[in-house]
Amino acid sequence: MTDHAVPAKPVKGATSADERPKPNTLAELFESAYASTGRLGLAARDVEALSRGVLEPSVAEEAEMRVIREHAARDIQLRGLVNALQPIAEHRRKGKDSLRDRAGELGVEALSQHPVFEGWAAALRDPESGVRVSAAAVWDRAKLVSSDLQSPDSTAPLSEAAVERLQANSVTALALVRIVRGDWDLAEFIAQLSGTIWRAPALADARDTVIAGVLTGPGRPEPLAALARALGRAADQARAALGKSQQDAAFSTRRALTAEARGAQLEAEAQALEDRIRALVSELEGTRTQVKAEREAGSVARSHHADDYEALRTRVVRQLTKQADLLGDGLHALRNDSLRVADEFVDRALAAIIREVSELKDMEG
């Protein structure tokens, strides 16, 4: 990187903040800021008076850009830009503020001419461009380019203290531009500065006038008091959130324990049901086996009974046929007056029939 050092040349005849004439235009404001070695000390009415400087846009813009071209590149420590933007950021006016909008544009123009912000002009003009210029990136870039810069009042390299001041002023200038343009709220402001100038956690939202006062107003207690109140509210909210989280965690723990106990109960019930199902399946299989065995046994018994029946039928038929023949012979003898012969045949047939009936009765028993 090339050497960007140009010795600063304060405006001749510079006076203290109390003696210096109050600026009437933005061009005069930036001119005074670049010439001053400290805060301009402008009150809200002084910032309000600057509105006369935007009534003729073409003339005002030409004067403003002339000041930026003459002084921005010489403002190595960015002290002048910080001094210029501080009263604009601190004293916000109600409604649409064209003065504030224009100051933000001039701030972006001044930053884009500084080596720390080289290559970031488009991102500074449009935060939604896709390139995010963060305070941490600016802090690191300021450290990186410091070796190519020289002290404003000599040709010597920047001292360690000057490098630290460059880093702080670079981040402060970026923050003031973002605040004036309405790009950052307090949450974003604290988050950005906590990794660079500050070492504090991110906080909730607050007015940008408080932010500007904290950045550049060490002599005023009001901004710090307002920030302290914001910190207190944030702490209260954090404690409330913590309490709520603890309550939610306790509730979730209780629910988990209840669910675990219920799960164990359901698991036991499921195991018991599974055991019962197994027992029923086993019992069913036993019943099926028994029925099958009985069915097979019945089939054998029926087969035996059929055989027995067939044998019995054959025997009875044979006996009845035989006795019928005897009875027929006896009837023939009776018809031929052979009573003795008829009696013998009948007696023999009757004895055989009685014997067969007795055997059948024995089979039933």
Q: What is the pLDDT along the chain (365 residues), one digit of tens a residue?
A: 334 333 334 444 444 455 567 888 888 888 888 888 777 777 878 877 776 544 566 777 888 888 888 888 888 888 889 988 888 888 776 656 778 888 888 889 999 888 888 888 888 888 777 778 888 899 988 888 888 877 666 677 778 888 888 888 999 999 898 888 887 777 777 778 777 887 544 444 445 555 555 555 555 555 555 556 666 676 777 788 888 888 888 888 888 888 888 888 888 888 888 888 888 888 888 888 888 888 877 777 777 777 777 777 787 878 788 778 878 887 887 788 777 877 877 887 788 788 877 777 776 65
Alpha helix positions (H), 72-156: 79-90, 98-112, 121-125, 135-145
**Is the same domain home to 204 and 327?**
no
**Is the same domain home to 195 and 306?**
no
Residue 164 resides in a domain: yes
Residue 15 resides in a domain: no
pLDDT at position 120 is 87
**Is the same domain home to 287 and 165?**
no
Residue 297 resides in a domain: yes
Domain final residue, candidates 163, 187, 219:
219
**Is the same domain home to 296 and 348?**
yes
Structural contact between residues 134 and 123, judged by C-beta atoms closer than 8 angstroms: no
Domain final residue, candidates 186, 219, 252:
219
Any residues with CB less than 8 A from the CB of 121 and at least 6 apart, and which? 108, 112
pLDDT at position 128 is 76
Domain final residue, candidates 188, 219, 250:
219
**Is the same domain home to 132 and 173?**
yes
Task: Count CA within 13 A, CB hemisphere, residue 103.
Answer: 36
Structural contact between residues 330 and 342, judged by C-beta atoms closer than 8 angstroms: yes
Cα–Cα distance for residue pair 89/103, rounded to 1 Å:
9
Domain housing 198:
26-219
pLDDT at position 364 is 65
**Is the same domain home to 169 and 69?**
yes
pLDDT at position 13 is 45
Question: What domain count does the chain have?
Answer: 2
Q: Considering just the CA atoms, what is the radius of gyration of the chain in Å? A: 58
* Residues paired with 157 in a beta bridge: 150
Cα–Cα distance for residue pair 72/94, rounded to 1 Å:
29
Cα–Cα distance for residue pair 42/206, rounded to 1 Å:
22
Residue with tokens 């698991």: 267
**Is the same domain home to 250 and 123?**
no
Residue 234 resides in a domain: no
| Listed residue (264, 267, 84, 244) closest to 176, CA to CA | 84
**Is the same domain home to 249 and 198?**
no
Entry pTM: 0.53
Residue 3 resides in a domain: no
**Is the same domain home to 200 and 78?**
yes
pLDDT at position 222 is 52
**Is the same domain home to 245 and 330?**
yes
Residue 9 resides in a domain: no
Residue 18 resides in a domain: no
**Is the same domain home to 64 and 201?**
yes
Angle at 212 between CA 237 and CA 129, to 5 degrees: 85
**Is the same domain home to 171 and 209?**
yes
Residue with tokens 């910032």: 47
DSSP tag of 199 = -
Q: Return the H-helix or E-strand segment holding 241.
A: helix 221-335
Residue 160 resides in a domain: yes
pLDDT at position 162 is 85
Counting other chains too, the contacts that 123-127 makes at CB distance below 8 Å and 24 or more residues apart are: 124/177, 127/178, 127/183
